[in-house]
Amino acid sequence: MRKLFWLALVLPLVAGPPLTRAERTNFTETSTYRDVMEFLWTLRRSSAKLRIKFLATSREGRKIPLAIVSEEGVGSPREARALGKEVVYIEANIHAGEVEGKEASLMMIRELLQGKYPDLLKNQVILFCPIFNPDGNEKLGRNRHEDGGPPLVGVRYNGQGLDLNRDFVKQESPEVRGLVRVLEEWDPILFVDMHTTDGVYHRHVVTWQPQMAPWTDPALTSYSWEKMFPEINQLMKGLGYRPIPYGNFLDRKSPERGWIFRAVGARYSTNYVGLRNRFAILDENYARADFRTRVMGAHAFLRAILSFTSRHGREMREIEREADRRAMERVAGSDFGVEFRLKKILDFDLSSFRFKLEKIPPEKREKYPSWFGGLLVKKTDIPATYHLYLYAPVEPTASVKLPGGYIILPAGTHTVEILRRNGIRVEKILRPLRTEAEVFNIQEIKASPLPYQGHHLKKVRGFYQRKEVKIPEGSFLVPMNQPLSRLAAVMLEPKSPDGFLTWGLFDATLVSEWGGKPWMVPVYRVERMPRVEAVLLR
């Protein structure tokens, strides 16, 4: 028995660093939650460079690991700041059927601890969350039929049935709430979210986009497209890959017309981070490539990203600090877009195929959406290159002037916790007052016929009316002279296409008890912050 005990201690040392489940199975299987945790704890036992914390506990009770990798064994934000190290956050498996990011990030953690890429830890601390959606990960099945393997993967949704990459405004999941806490505490210069895409047939392993919300500070957008995107792509070229912007054909029947990225709302992780005045990258790896190819492409992408941040981290931080200052000084009184049209972002070459059109037989048309127009677009085996422009709906066609601040009435108290969780400054009014404010009067509300993420999204038509109003004790002030003013505006502005009103978070206050006309939105806009006795909520 004593010999067996000592053998159990020695064998892990002899066996060497662990392999991921994907590596052990020749890329025919993906890691379970248990696999991920055993892999991380094995690494932790052999290296002081790794610390393991927990981001949150999922709805089904699984602890979500946050692996902290650094030369010095950093375990807290305070230690990272004391060392003058910037922080990068890398997340995978937010959609648990999209699994190569999980495997690639585990491999990268192991290799960093082995000292394989010493320059990548020279100037930064790297946070990895390789399995952000563990509940979805454990629901293994044939859930993504178009993928080039593995045959069994998890599902898109979490233990609540929510798509976590639609939860960044309402923040109803423990996973997203835990992530927001990490962003608040660690303040990474870059957030990376790893996915899989199967929208269009092409020949690129890696596609990606930076933060794309139209309300993002322009300096972040310019730096992303003019410096980060070209340099990371050049690094990837040296590793044998040619990434392109993530998107889909503008017109599936005429590929040459262009390439479009539509997901510019604040509900998406990377756009949300951009509204915090921080850089973000959405990684979308090509689903129809085989699993090994996707994992290795994702791994190469992580190397390129971390090489860029290691060399440019301080420059990125200064740009972000300037964005914070502009948010404090210039957002109030600026234009806030509420309707948008497509804007040309850049041009690039897409390596794809020629396509052909086939009529859908009448007996099969019920299987396809009406927007297919009775035609299927089929890929041929003939390679083709398309020179395309990338478009996104970020050019404002209608705007409103942002106020100096917002007042939330007691009827909207439930939204205050969301603001505070994000680090947005909120003050509680201790005495009633009268002040001039803009009130949003609703003329028409249209709710989506089907629920979306547990909500019937609202389209609201109305107008602002300036008048003197009575503000009761227990209301809240949200000043716009703060770093997160852009995010506050997106959440609180009544005409925001992705705000609290759109998500139905004010539904209980909008319709009178006896079915009369809708009430006013319980958020007032004030040009100047009123002088009032108030206390800062902490």
CATH number at residue 39: 3.40.630.10
| Arithmetic mean of pLDDT over the chain | 94
Question: Percent of the chain, pLDDT > 90?
Answer: 85
Q: Does the pLDDT at position 5 exceed 50?
A: no
Going across the sheet that includes 206-210, the strands are 50-57, 63-69, 124-129, 86-92, 190-197, 279-286, 206-210, 244-245
Instruction: Pick the closest to residue 175 from 189, 193, 158, 155 (CA basis).
Output: 158
Please give the C-alpha separations between residue 245 and each of 176, 261, 289, 305, 306, in angstroms, as whole numbers.
Answer: 26, 9, 17, 15, 19
User: In terms of domains, do 209 and 101 share one?
Assistant: yes
Determine the average pLDDT of the residues in 93-100.
Answer: 97
C-beta separation of 396 from 216 below 8 A: no
Q: What's the pLDDT tens digit per position in 399-413? A: 999 999 999 999 999
Give buried/exposed letters for 31-55 (b at 16+ CB in 10 A, else e). bbbebbbebbeebeebbebbbbeeb
Q: What's the pLDDT tens digit per position in 184-227? A: 999 999 999 999 998 899 999 999 999 999 999 999 999 999 99
Residue 103 is encoded by which pair of tokens?
């495997």
Q: Does the pLDDT at position 8 exceed 70?
A: no
User: In terms of domains, do 322 and 246 share one?
Assistant: yes
In this structure, the number of other CB atoms found within 10 A of the CB of residue 371 comes to: 6
Report how far residue 221's alpha carbon sits from residue 17's, in angstroms, rounded to the nearest whole number.
40
Report how far residue 326's alpha carbon sits from residue 78's, in angstroms, rounded to the nearest whole number.
26
Q: Does the pLDDT at position 101 exceed 70?
A: yes
User: In terms of domains, do 64 and 31 share one?
Assistant: yes
Q: CA angle 392-396-400, nearest 5°?
A: 145
pLDDT at 35: 98
Q: Does the pLDDT at position 271 exceed 90?
A: yes
Determine the average pLDDT of the residues in 501-528.
Answer: 85
User: In terms of domains, do 411 and 374 share one?
Assistant: no
In a 3-state reduction of DSSP, which class is residue 535? Answer: strand
User: In terms of domains, do 479 and 432 share one?
Assistant: yes
Structurally, the chain folds into a number of domains equal to: 3
Please, is 14 exposed, middle or buried when counting C-beta atoms within 10 Å of its C-beta (0-12, 13-18, 19+)? exposed
- How sure is the predictor about 535, in pLDDT bands with cuts at 50, 70 and 90? confident
User: In terms of domains, do 132 and 255 share one?
Assistant: yes
In a 3-state reduction of DSSP, which class is residue 322? Answer: helix
- Structural domain boundaries enclosing 200: 2-330
Q: Does the pLDDT at position 10 exceed 60?
A: no
Start-to-end CA distance of the chain, whole Å, equals 57
Residue 326 is encoded by which pair of tokens?
């502009």
Q: Of the candidates 313, 330, 347, which is a domain's last residue? A: 330
Residue 443 is encoded by which pair of tokens?
């003329």
Minimum mean pLDDT range among 4-8, 86-90, 322-326, 471-475: 4-8
Determine the average pLDDT of the residues in 477-496.
Answer: 97
Minimum mean pLDDT range among 132-136, 152-156, 534-538: 534-538
User: In terms of domains, do 529 and 427 share one?
Assistant: yes
In this structure, the number of other CB atoms found within 10 A of the CB of residue 197 comes to: 19
C-beta separation of 105 from 143 below 8 A: no
The two beta strands, 63-69 and 124-129, are antiparallel
Report how far residue 372's alpha carbon sits from residue 391's, in angstroms, rounded to the nearest whole number.
21
Q: What's the pLDDT tens digit per position in 425-451? A: 999 999 999 999 999 999 888 999 999
User: In terms of domains, do 378 and 486 share one?
Assistant: no
Report how far residue 198's alpha carbon sits from residue 211's, in angstroms, rounded to the nearest whole number.
21
Angle between helical axes of 100-113 and 33-46 (0-180°, round to 10) = 10
User: In terms of domains, do 487 and 386 share one?
Assistant: no
Determine the average pLDDT of the residues in 35-52.
Answer: 98
pLDDT at 11: 43
Q: What's the pLDDT tens digit per position in 371-404? A: 788 888 899 999 999 999 999 999 999 999 999 9
- How sure is the predictor about 12, in pLDDT bands with cuts at 50, 70 and 90? very low
Q: What's the pLDDT tens digit per position in 53-93? A: 999 999 999 999 999 999 999 999 999 999 999 999 999 99
pLDDT at 362: 87
**One-letter amino acid for residue 194 of the chain:** M
Minimum mean pLDDT range among 112-121, 150-159, 366-375: 366-375
C-alpha 303 chain-centroid distance: 20
Report how far residue 102's alpha carbon sits from residue 92's, in angstroms, rounded to the nearest whole number.
5
- How sure is the predictor about 50, in pLDDT bands with cuts at 50, 70 and 90? very high
User: In terms of domains, do 350 and 438 share one?
Assistant: no
User: In terms of domains, do 264 and 343 share one?
Assistant: no
Report how far residue 157's alpha carbon sits from residue 135's, in angstroms, rounded to the nearest whole number.
8
pLDDT at 515: 65
* Strands (DSSP E) found in 277-334: 279-286
C-alpha 444 chain-centroid distance: 31
Report how far residue 281's alpha carbon sits from residue 284's, in angstroms, rounded to the nearest whole number.
10
Residues near 515 by Cβ (< 8 Å), separated by ≥ 6? none
User: In terms of domains, do 186 and 296 share one?
Assistant: yes
Q: CA angle 422-266-342, nearest 5°?
A: 155
Question: Percent of the chain, pLDDT > 70?
Answer: 96
Determine the average pLDDT of the residues in 241-254.
Answer: 95
pLDDT at 396: 97
Residue 126 is encoded by which pair of tokens?
């790297």
10 or 91, higher pLDDT: 91
